[in-house]
Amino acid sequence: MLPLLTIDSRVKIVLITDEPKHKLFATLSSSVKLVTTPRSYTPKHAKYKARALEYFRTSSKLESTDWVLHLDEETVIDAHTIKACIKFIEEEKQYHLGQGIILYNAHRFWEARLPTIADIPRARDDYGKFFIGPSWVHSPFLGLHGSFLLISGEVQNEIGWDTRSEAEDMWLGIEAWKKNYKIGWIPSIVREQSPHSIVESWRQRSRWFGGMPKAKGLQARLNMTLWILETCGGPILIALWRHLTFPPWMYYLLIVTNVTDFWSMIYACLVQDVDSQLGLSTILFHAIFYAPFALICKWFEGLVILYTILRPPQGFYIVAK
């Protein structure tokens, strides 16, 4: 990542961690600023990741003209990403936040097949709701990714990160929407990796859904409801199909919805495989046999939701990748 500093003198790399610092940080380049969140730092509400982000915000004394590109620890970026962000900041003056595409093929792609398949819907969403929000309606009300998220200092200082919710990215998006901040599209890609097992995928989803109820307000409830309907609606309709009567237009709507869902999974699978430069036979095999299975994996999230409602997660689980 250090060569990226040569692109523009205004670019800085900041690594945020908790106290105590890991011994690996002793070998960190002097070009990287390390921000360590003290154990004694106790904001009013924030815990875990939100607490670290709030400490960084307050200790860094961000100006309204500063911009921060939020990345997860395993996110892979390149020169194109940095240049696209700089161009966005300099030319898209009407926006206060920016978001781009995340692919889940950075490391050990397809080594753990089930988690990789389970993340196909996530890649699909980047070409769906996470694309529509920034590029069409320019509002973060449909949700945000916590990674590859470009935020102005003005927004961070106005809203902050002091929230009880472990879904702090969704909370920030809702608060930004309430204050009429606009989000724009960054035409670039970053790459991340899937959890290394289906158990870790389960825990990841459980943490997300467990944090959503803590984001107060109607919009948070709407986001939760849409996620529940998306993941649980299919199995419920299949189970009750013979016992329900629909008007003809609803049958056609369900057919169009399911066909679109099916082909969008194949598209997301193809995009990630082509980006990884896999062989043609492998790409076709994944698209034919694995992408349709992603629909079933989406129902798996419905089980996670039910489990999370019955047994809300305690603490902040760090997913192994």
**By the 8 A CB rule, do 112 and 197 touch?**
yes
| pTM, 2 dp | 0.89
Task: Give me 214's structure tokens.
Answer: 């803590």
Tokens 């193809």 locate to: 270
Give residue for tokens 């930004």: 176
Mean pLDDT within 198-205 = 88
**Confidence category of residue 79, pLDDT binned at 50, 70, 90:** very high
54, 162 Cβ separation under 8 angstroms: yes
Mean pLDDT within 61-89? 95
Q: So where are the chain's domains?
A: 2-196, 199-310
Backbone angles phi, psi at 34, to 5 degrees: -100, 120
State percent of the chain over pLDDT 70: 97
Mean pLDDT of 4-24: 85
Could you identify the residue written with the tokens 């003290």?
Answer: 38
The answer to whether the peptide bond before residue 134 is cis (omega within 30 degrees of 0) is no
Q: What pLDDT sits at residue 316?
A: 76
Q: Tell me what pLDDT residue 235 has.
A: 67
Q: Does the structural domain 2-196 have CATH classification 3.40.50.300?
A: no
